[in-house]
Amino acid sequence: MIKESDLQWIRKWFELYTQEYCIGKEKFDSCICLKVVHTKRVVEEILGICNSLNLKREECYLAEIIAILHDVGRFVQYARYHSFSDANTENHADLGIEVIRPELSDYFPKK
Ligand SMILES: [Fe+2]
């Protein structure tokens, strides 16, 4: 069961993780910022949906975590390739799994 403390940890982790990708170069950082803002909008949208569906608190925590993590692979994708094109780089969902698996190993089934 997802707890509020899990959500808070992931919120903080995402904030710190994405800050690492801001390197002080305006064009690069603006692309990173674009994905941070996008993620925040997805979180707002999903919380609106959660409220409209009267979901349980724990279900809303899970939904928000999914929203926070849904594009987490975009940051490493842009850092490696300076592109958000899955077709010309790597699939951002696969990259996201690479990023979150070690960070969230307690939540993944062991191989
Ligand atoms: Fe997205």
Domain total for the chain? 1
Residue owning tokens 């002080």: 24
Domain of 49, in residue numbers: 26-101
The rounded Å distance from CA 70 to ligand 1 centre is 6
Q: What is the pLDDT of residue 47?
A: 97
Contact 31, 78 (CB under 8 A): yes
Is residue 18, in this structure, part of any structural domain at all? no
Task: Give the side-chain half-sphere CA count within 13 A for 25.
Answer: 7
The rounded Å distance from CA 10 to ligand 1 centre is 17
Is residue 2, in this structure, part of any structural domain at all? no
pLDDT digits (tens, 9 = 90+) for 34-92: 999 999 999 999 999 999 999 999 999 999 999 999 999 999 999 999 999 999 999 99
- As residues whose CB is below 5 A from the ion ligand 1, the structure lists 71
pTM for the model: 0.90
Is residue 89, in this structure, part of any structural domain at all? yes
Is residue 5, in this structure, part of any structural domain at all? no
Q: What is the pLDDT of residue 103?
A: 83
Q: What span, in angstroms and rounded, lies between the C-alpha atoms of 24 and 102?
A: 27
Is residue 13, in this structure, part of any structural domain at all? no
The rounded Å distance from CA 71 to ligand 1 centre is 5
The rounded Å distance from CA 33 to ligand 1 centre is 13
Is residue 71, in this structure, part of any structural domain at all? yes
- Does residue 105 surpass a pLDDT of 80? no
CA distances from 88 to 13, 40, 68 (A): 28, 26, 24
